């Protein structure tokens, strides 16, 4: 029976995504489908799966890797406050960080109140455990749903994502405190500090070597994957040694790995290992262990299910009025309901509580069933109600500092395509001359750092400095770069530039535009390759560039792109190197494609699809 159970679980893990794709079941998370399949095949259904030693061991590894990957899902850049300019929203006074924190604090209050109500009604006595479970949010499910909706990079998506991060991180630490207190280790809870110190030491130890690892790793060594598993089991071992839960160690290992800044390929490999083998076994075995017959035979446990479903929903509904401070009513309702999603942390929390004998098996099964129900309902409601506020067209914001015969024509041409253009000048005569030719030209005199910051001119994707004074351009470009602008382009019009200044600009990542070099290059192109010259200066037959930010298209060969027949990819820029693409070339995140297309309509579609940050 051992081998038979193992075979059935592996077969079920293979068939579940196939059946979901065949019957177009997209509203239900795969994890929930795996639990349901486990229920059907396990104790509550046909009894084809038994909890053998091998399956139990693999399931335990599965939950550890699940927590590790959850830690890797955290984007620490989200906690850096960035002003954004989403004019489609009712108010800009509430950042995603503020809204997420207000939402989670309200959720904690609601969870405590609901836990006390359950205890008063005699349905569930453990208020602390109930509070932890009611606060949890399934980060992985939320991210998958937001990616599918392609709003992960929008203010609404960022707000929901931050709420989910808090809903996974805070309950994780609370669960460790809960386990220490109920496991009679409350006096040793301070030892958890050693776990955090170990995580910090490992991060510092491998920060520089990891860069070297990427250079020397081979297909037969896979150093990045080996390092990931070393981090997992090192921190899991330390966690168990100091009396903390092993899932906290795994979660911290994921955070450390994320801070090491692994490549997209490394993340894909780790995700493949986890979700391709170990994690499905954990979810299927969770369902297989459920005994619904025993649960339904217990009136008190049966009455607990609707009460728990209601509590899981009510605890998170505080998100709706908080989100309404910035977003419209319909999307606030949808986003609030998506935070109801909870499954990943609930399962290990219940396992901890069962091991501590703080909860009965029937109560645990009731919690799992309630979590499955809300995990099915919440994404469906979100997908049904959420609507994009405006056309989903990616537009980059470009700021020009300096208005003259060089910058104004470029701004006019870009403004007709896929860019939001803003222009600044401190010359009143230039302002009067070009004000009618540029949509957004502002006169700021004196042109100071404070004035630019007040006008949010540093909140741009690209800043171009185009004054006729090279020294001024040099100083302004460095100042703009210090404000964190991704791309800074500065004009250097003098052929006898100071080589030291040019080296400083290059070292700081500032791009240099020299009209003399450009003119010489264009003239050479006209002589050597007149057709290429026409592509450079033409409006229809042009070369275009797009950065691949849409995970929907990463990991796929060029020939599988749905719009490949409308484009010709000339070059791919990856990790500072140029690649000669073929149909079999696999796209990676952050690739820069140089391509031509049949017409501007095709260009718009291609750039819009590939640049969606999801």
pLDDT in tens, 132-144: 999 999 887 787 7
> Which residue did the predictor score with more confidence, 54 or 186?
54
What average pLDDT does range 375-389 have in this prediction? 84
* Interatomic CA distance for residues 133 and 168, integer angstroms: 10
Find the length of the chain. Answer: 614
Q: What is the pLDDT of residues 467-501, one digit of tens each?
A: 888 889 899 999 999 988 888 999 887 755 667 88
Q: What pLDDT was estimated at residue 234?
A: 93
Nearest to 129 by CA among 372, 352, 368: 352
pLDDT band at residue 526 under the 50/70/90 scheme: low
pLDDT at 304 over 70: yes
- Name the strand (E) or helix (H) holding 442: strand 441-443
> Which residue did the predictor score with more confidence, 531 or 103?
103
* Ordered strands of the 567-574 beta sheet: 544-547, 592-597, 567-574, 577-579
> Which residue did the predictor score with more confidence, 134 or 528?
134
> Which residue did the predictor score with more confidence, 71 or 393?
71
pLDDT at 86 over 70: no
Q: What pLDDT was estimated at residue 191?
A: 73
> Which residue did the predictor score with more confidence, 515 or 294?
294
CB 506 within 8 A of CB 512: yes
Q: What pLDDT was estimated at residue 83?
A: 46
pLDDT at 76 over 50: yes
pLDDT at 430 over 90: no
What average pLDDT does range 546-551 have in this prediction? 84
* Interatomic CA distance for residues 501 and 418, integer angstroms: 33
Q: What is the pLDDT of residues 214-257, one digit of tens each?
A: 677 777 778 888 999 999 999 999 988 887 778 889 989 998 99
Q: Is residue 151 helix, strand or coil?
A: coil
Q: What is the pLDDT of residues 464-474, one digit of tens each?
A: 998 888 889 89
Q: What is the pLDDT of residues 170-191, one digit of tens each?
A: 998 888 888 888 866 655 667 7
pLDDT at 84 over 50: no
Q: What is the pLDDT of residues 250-277, one digit of tens each?
A: 989 998 998 888 877 788 889 889 989 9
pLDDT at 528 over 80: no
Hey, what are 315's tokens?
Answer: 């605890």
The secondary structure of 321-383 as a DSSP string is HHHTTTS-HHHHHHHHHHTT---TTHHHHHHHHHHTT-S-HHHHHHHHHHHHHHHHHHHHHHH
**What residues contact 16, with CB distance under 8 A and at least 6 apart?**
30, 33, 34, 37, 280
Q: What pLDDT was estimated at residue 532?
A: 59
**What residues contact 402, with CB distance under 8 A and at least 6 apart?**
424, 425, 465, 466, 467, 468, 491
pLDDT at 606 over 80: yes
What average pLDDT does range 414-421 have in this prediction? 74
Domains of the chain (ranges plus CATH)? Answer: 2-44+95-385 (1.20.1530.20), 396-525 (3.40.50.720), 538-610 (3.30.70.1450)
pLDDT at 285 over 90: yes
Q: What pLDDT was estimated at residue 533?
A: 60
pLDDT at 58 over 90: yes
Q: What pLDDT was estimated at residue 280?
A: 93
Q: What pLDDT was estimated at residue 127?
A: 93
Hey, what are 286's tokens?
Answer: 């969770």
pLDDT at 90 over 70: no
**CA separation (Å) from 137 to 130, 277, 340, 386, 545?**
14, 23, 7, 19, 38
Q: Output DSSP code: residue 89.
A: S
What average pLDDT does range 579-595 have in this prediction? 86
Write down the mean pLDDT value for the chain: 83
* Interatomic CA distance for residues 51 and 6, integer angstroms: 9
Q: What pLDDT was estimated at residue 224?
A: 86
Q: What pLDDT was estimated at residue 107?
A: 95
User: Which residues are paired to 398 by β-bridges?
Assistant: 421, 462
pLDDT at 22 over 70: yes
């Amino acid at each position: 029976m051992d081998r038979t159970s193992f075979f059935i679980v592996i077969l079920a893990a293979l068939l579940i995504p196939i059946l979901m794709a065949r019957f177009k079941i997209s509203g239900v998370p795969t994890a929930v489908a795996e639990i349901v399949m486990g229920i059907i095949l396990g104790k509550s259904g046909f009894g084809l799966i038994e909890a053998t030693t091998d399956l139990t061991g693999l399931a335990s590894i599965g939950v550890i890797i699940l927590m590790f990957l959850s830690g890797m899902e955290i984007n620490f850049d989200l906690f850096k406050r960035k002003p954004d300019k989403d004019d489609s929203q009712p108010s800009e006074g509430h950042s995603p960080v503020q809204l997420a924190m207000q939402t989670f604090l309200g959720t904690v209050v609601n969870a405590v109140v609901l836990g006390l109500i359950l205890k008063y009604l005699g349905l569930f006595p453990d208020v602390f455990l109930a509070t932890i479970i009611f606060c949890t949010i399934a980060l992985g499910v939320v991210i998958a749903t937001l990616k599918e909706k392609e709003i992960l990079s929008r203010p609404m998506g960022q707000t929901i994502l931050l709420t989910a991060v808090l809903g996974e991180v805070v309950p994780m630490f609370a669960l460790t405190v809960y386990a220490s207190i109920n496991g009679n280790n409350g006096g040793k809870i301070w030892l958890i500090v050693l776990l955090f110190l170990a995580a910090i030491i490992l991060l510092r130890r491998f920060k520089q070597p990891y860069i070297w690892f990427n250079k020397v790793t081979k297909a037969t060594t896979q150093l990045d994957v080996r390092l990931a598993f070393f981090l997992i089991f090192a921190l899991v071992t330390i966690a168990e040694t100091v009396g903390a839960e092993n899932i906290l160690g795994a979660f911290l290992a994921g955070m450390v790995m994320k801070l090491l800044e692994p490549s997209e390929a490394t993340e894909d490999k780790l995700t493949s290992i986890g979700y391709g083998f170990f994690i499905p076994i954990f979810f299927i075995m969770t369902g297989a262990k459920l005994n619904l017959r025993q649960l339904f035979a217990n009136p008190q446990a049966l009455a607990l299910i609707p009460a728990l479903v209601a509590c899981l929903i009510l605890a998170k509904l505080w998100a709706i009025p908080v989100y309404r401070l910035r977003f419209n009513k319909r999307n606030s309702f949808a986003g609030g309901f998506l935070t109801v999603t909870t499954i990943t942390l609930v399962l290990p929390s219940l396992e901890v509580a069962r091991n501590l004998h703080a909860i009965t098996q029937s109560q645990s099964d009731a919690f799992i069933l309630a979590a499955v129900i809300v995990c099915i309902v919440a994404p469906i409601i979100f997908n049904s109600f959420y609507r994009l506020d405006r056309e989903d067209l990616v537009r980059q914001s470009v700021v020009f500092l300096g208005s003259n015969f060089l910058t104004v024509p470029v701004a006019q041409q870009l403004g007709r395509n896929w860019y939001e253009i803003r222009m600044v000048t401190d010359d009143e005569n230039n302002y009067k001359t070009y004000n009618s030719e540029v949509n957004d030209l502002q006169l700021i005199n004196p042109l100071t750092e404070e004035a630019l910051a007040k006008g949010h001119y540093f909140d741009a994707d690209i800043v171009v400095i185009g004054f006729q004074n090279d020294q001024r351009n040099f100083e302004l470009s460095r100042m703009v770069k210090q404000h964190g602008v991704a791309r800074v382009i500065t004009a250097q019009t003098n052929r006898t530039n100071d080589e030291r200044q040019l080296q400083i600009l290059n070292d700081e990542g500032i791009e240099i535009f020299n009209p003399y070099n450009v003119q010489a290059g264009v003239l050479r192109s006209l002589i050597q390759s007149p057709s290429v010259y026409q592509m450079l200066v033409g409006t229809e037959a042009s070369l275009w560039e797009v950065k691949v930010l849409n995970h929907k298209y990463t990991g796929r060969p060029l020939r599988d792109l749905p719009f490949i027949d409308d484009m010709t990819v000339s070059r791919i820029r990856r990790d500072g190197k140029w690649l000669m693409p073929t149909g079999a070339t696999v796209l990676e995140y952050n690739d820069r494609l140089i391509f031509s297309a049949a017409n501007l309509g095709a260009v718009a579609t291609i750039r819009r699809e590939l640049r969606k940050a999801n």
